[in-house]
Structure formats: structure tokens, C-alpha cells
Amino acid sequence: MKNFKSHYPKLKPNLLIAISLVLIVACNEKNITAKKSETLSLKEAFKNEFVIGAAVNDQLIFEEDSLGAKLAKEEFNTITPENSMKWMYMEPQQGVFEFETADRYIDFSTKNNIAFIGHNLVWHSQLAEWVKKITSKEELNASLKNHVQTIAARYTGKIHGWDVVNEALNEDGTLRNSLFLEKLGPDYLVNSFKWAEEADPKAELYYNDYNMTRKEKRAGAIELVKMLQKNGARVDGIGMQAHWGLTDPTLEEIETSILAYADLGIQVMITEFDITVLPNPWDLEGAEVSQNFEGSEEMNPYTKKLPDSVSTLLAKRYKDIFSIFKKHSDKISRVTFWGINDGVSWLNNWPIENRTNYPLLFDREYNKKPAYYGVLEVATDSTL
């Protein structure tokens, strides 16, 4: 099975020793790690472990966000479209496909030699309205097939992998009662993977979901992949989205989950990594997310600046989690952040709109944050 790693061969051990010696002699300083941090990009730093990605948006692809585009080229070797390849944008009317924007994403990745992850072919959310109105099973099945195959076929040879199915599970690990499941039964999952493979045999095919560290959901995801495999669908990898917090999930849950997914014999990918630093209304006893928290200081405490104490906690959390990724880099092929800088993160608007969040490695001015250096240290510190 081909994967990212075949494109990024490991350095030979004796070469690594030679490089380390040269660096030790050349730097001869205590803070060698900090020095190296100035010169290495994320993708270079982790080139022997996994590829490093980011979700990107239209402003970046059209280079209106030129600083974002610059960082995408310098720091990352894979990108995922944050929104523009979802069903509502790709096929807004039945049988009418809008390829213009998606083509620009593909051009950007091809031109800059950045591997492209298609996101996504089948999802109950951000669907076009017309799909929801279909009443017949036959028509829905034909529409799903046409959607998957038309898009997958268009980009064959230009896409590294597809999130074929996104978020098909409930929190308890059972299958989500989406309109696809309701009308087509679990066959829609098997068929979607088979249709994608038929249309683009070269692309890798993934199942992608959130809360993949929770016990019940993890069991459900494993069962789902096994069911797909048993029914003859090819699944190359499993995507743990990784929208995480400063303390949840625990490091143990993260590690256990990586190992459990790797046991399926497929690639494990961290596909939408970010760490919120803001309070979550669901954690508050008696708090209803439907309550209006907008403008509440309690829920939006860092409107001017992230306090140094929290910034340090965030850096440590990133470092701890990346240490686990590095430890299991033989099982992990990709780590993708869900956005490039704090200013563009979806977490400024979820679960409460208009807050100021700081979940990524670059700040609103595109500067590297302590979290960036925390991550980089994992790559450069041989004791981690």
C-alpha cells in the first residue's frame, strides 16, 4: 500500500549521527534547540516522521491572504480545503458541478508541490438542499454515486487521498442516522468507498471523524472499518480529527486510540488538529449551549491577548501531544492542523460566535507562537 512515507524516506542512522555531531560542534551552545528552531520549517523538522498539513481557505488559495499562502508553502507539505470541496459547493444543483474554485486549490497544490487531501465526498452536513429533498431510494443512491464518481474522477492523479466518508458515527459508536443511512442503509458506506476507488484508483481513501479518542466511538470506528473491509471496500487510513482541549482528551486516551486504529493495519492520520483555550459552555454545570453567551466576558476572556500563562500551557500541551505522535510515527502518516493562524480558525465562531480563540501555531499576525516552538522542539530534541 502506498502512503506518504514512500515519498519521504527515512534518513539512514549513520547519516543522522553525522548530522547530529556537526550540529553539536557547530552550535556548542545550551539552547541548541532554540537555534535550530529558527531555521527548520515544520515540514522539514518532521520529514522523517510524517507529513505536516493545514486546512486552507479560498482567501489563501486565491493569494488574497498572501502571508497565509507564504506560510502554506514554507511550512506545510500537505493541504486540505477547509470548506470549498464540500457537497453544497461542488454540486449545488442536481447534476450541476462547480469545479472552478476546487480547480484552483488543486492548481495551488500541484504548482507548489504540496500533497492534496480532498475533503470530503460524503457527509451529512454542508449538503446541498436538493439532496435533502430526494424521497426515492434509487434516486438518492444514483445521486450519491454520481457525486462521488464525478468529483473523484476529475482529480485523479492530482489528489493524494480523499476523506471519502466524514462523521458517519454517533458518540456511542452506532451509525449516525443521516439521510444516507436512513434511505440507503449501511450499504451507502461500502458503496461510497468502492465508487471512489473505481473513479480514482490512485487516491488513498479515508474514513474521518471527531471524538475518536472516546471509548465507545473508537469501538464504533473500528467496527465500521472492519465492516467496510469485510465487504470488499479498500480503506487506506483513518482520520482522527483532533479538535481537542487543554486537558481533554488525556494523553493516555490519545495514545490508546492511535494504537487501536493502527491495529487495523491501516494508516492513522491526525486530520484536523487544533486546541481550544476558551471555556466550553457544555462543561459548565447547567449551562445550555442554546443560551446566548454572546458578549459574555466569562465565555470570551482573552479578547485583547492570550495571557502568557495560558500560552505556556498551550505550548506544553502541543509538545506533549506531539511527543506521542513522534513516539508512534511508524503508525502516523500525516498531522494536519485545522487552519494556519488563529485569526482564521473556525473556533472563533464555535460553539459560540465572535470569540477570540488561540488554537493554532501562528498568531493573528502570522508570527510563530510558543506553541510552534513547543512542536518544533519535539522534532529536534532526541530525548523526546
367 binds ligand 9MR (CB under 6 A): no
Beta carbon of residue 175, minimum distance to ligand 9MR (angstroms, whole number):
17
Grid cell at residue 266: 491501516
Interface pick for ligand 9MR out of 49, 75, 82, 255 (rule CB under 6 A): 82
Q: CA–CA separation, 318 vs 374, rounded Å?
A: 6
Q: How many Cβ atoms from other residues are within 10 Å of residue 246's Cβ?
A: 13
Q: CA–CA separation, 142 vs 136, rounded Å?
A: 10
Interface pick for ligand 9MR out of 62, 97, 130, 346 (rule CB under 6 A): 346
125 binds ligand 9MR (CB under 6 A): yes
Beta carbon of residue 312, minimum distance to ligand 9MR (angstroms, whole number):
26
Interface pick for ligand 9MR out of 33, 41, 48, 83 (rule CB under 6 A): 83
Interface pick for ligand 9MR out of 59, 126, 156, 177 (rule CB under 6 A): 126
Of the listed 167, 197, 255, 377, which one is catalytic?
A: 167
Beta carbon of residue 272, minimum distance to ligand 9MR (angstroms, whole number):
5
Beta carbon of residue 196, minimum distance to ligand 9MR (angstroms, whole number):
17
Q: Which is nearer to ligand 9MR, 48 or 101 (CB)?
A: 101
Per-residue DSSP letter, 275: E
Phi-psi region of 28 (alpha: psi -120 to 50; beta: other; left: phi over 0): left
Interface pick for ligand 9MR out of 272, 342, 363, 377 (rule CB under 6 A): 272
342 binds ligand 9MR (CB under 6 A): no
Could you confirm whether 64 is annotated as catalytic?
no
The alpha carbon dihedral of 141, 147, 150, 153 has a sign of negative
Per-residue DSSP letter, 82: S
Beta carbon of residue 349, minimum distance to ligand 9MR (angstroms, whole number):
7
Q: Which is nearer to ligand 9MR, 89 or 346 (CB)?
A: 346
241 binds ligand 9MR (CB under 6 A): yes
Q: CA–CA separation, 56 vs 84, rounded Å?
A: 9
| Residue carrying C-alpha cell 462547480 | 98
Q: CA 129 from chain center: how many Å?
A: 26
CB 70 within 8 A of CB 63: no
Of the listed 49, 197, 204, 272, which one is catalytic?
A: 272
CA-based nearest residue to 150, from 94, 110, 109? 94
Q: CA–CA separation, 268 vs 219, rounded Å?
A: 15
Beta carbon of residue 239, minimum distance to ligand 9MR (angstroms, whole number):
9
Could you confirm whether 288 is annotated as catalytic?
no
CA atoms lying within 13 Å on the CB side of residue 266: 22
Catalog residues that contact ligand 9MR under the rule CB under 6 A.
Answer: 82-83, 125-126, 166, 210, 241, 272, 346
* Residues recognised as catalytic: 167, 272
